[in-house]
């Protein structure tokens, strides 16, 4: 099966037709997932955990490119023009399984600078430092570019 290396590619794959060979006696059946009402804030949750054969959870640490700009195209929307979104926050899980770990967030301020938040500590980070943690990103939050939050 094909694997995505970034959110843009994952979104395209998520909304691509899924062919259901076993459900149609005549012809080919397929299903698609599309956004009917585009949100002002788009929250994308990455699958970061899987289960072993003995039922224990394990973390998936595959790097994923979290693009600063994301275009939600016509193939993902039921109707309307493509929409442009910009990344304004990420939430990361630090730990090896679902039973333990720690969550942190990186948020972009109104001037475009990024800050990491870890409990009661907040510090400014550059793009390079923020991108280093892409193996731990669990949620990516985007806002429509035409909207100011």
* pTM of this structure: 0.83
The whole-chain average pLDDT of the chain stands at: 85
| Per-residue model confidence (pLDDT) at position 88 | 95
| Per-residue model confidence (pLDDT) at position 1 | 41
Mean pLDDT to the nearest integer, 81-93:
92
| Per-residue model confidence (pLDDT) at position 147 | 64
pLDDT reading at 128 higher than 80: no
Q: pLDDT by residue (tens digit) across 20-50?
A: 766 656 667 778 888 899 899 999 998 888 8
Residue 87 pLDDT class (50, 70, 90 cuts)? very high
Among 81, 90, 93, which residue's Cα sits nearest to residue 136?
93
Distance CA 121, CA 71 (A): 33
Distance CA 71, CA 77 (A): 11
């Amino acid at each position: 099966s094909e694997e995505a290396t970034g959110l843009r590619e994952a979104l395209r794959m998520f909304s691509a037709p899924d062919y259901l060979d076993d459900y149609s006696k005549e012809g080919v059946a397929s299903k698609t997932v599309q956004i009917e009402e585009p949100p002002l804030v788009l929250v994308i949750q990455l699958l970061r955990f899987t289960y072993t054969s003995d039922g224990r959870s394990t973390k998936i640490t595959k790097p994923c490119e979290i693009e600063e700009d994301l275009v939600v195209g016509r193939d993902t929307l039921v109707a309307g023009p493509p929409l442009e979104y910009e990344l304004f926050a990420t939430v990361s899980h630090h730990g090896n399984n679902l039973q333990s770990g720690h969550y942190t967030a990186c948020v972009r301020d109104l001037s475009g600078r990024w800050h990491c938040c870890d409990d009661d500590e907040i510090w400014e980070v550059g793009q390079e430092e923020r991108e280093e943690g892409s193996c731990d990103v669990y949620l990516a939050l985007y806002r429509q570019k035409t909207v100011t939050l």
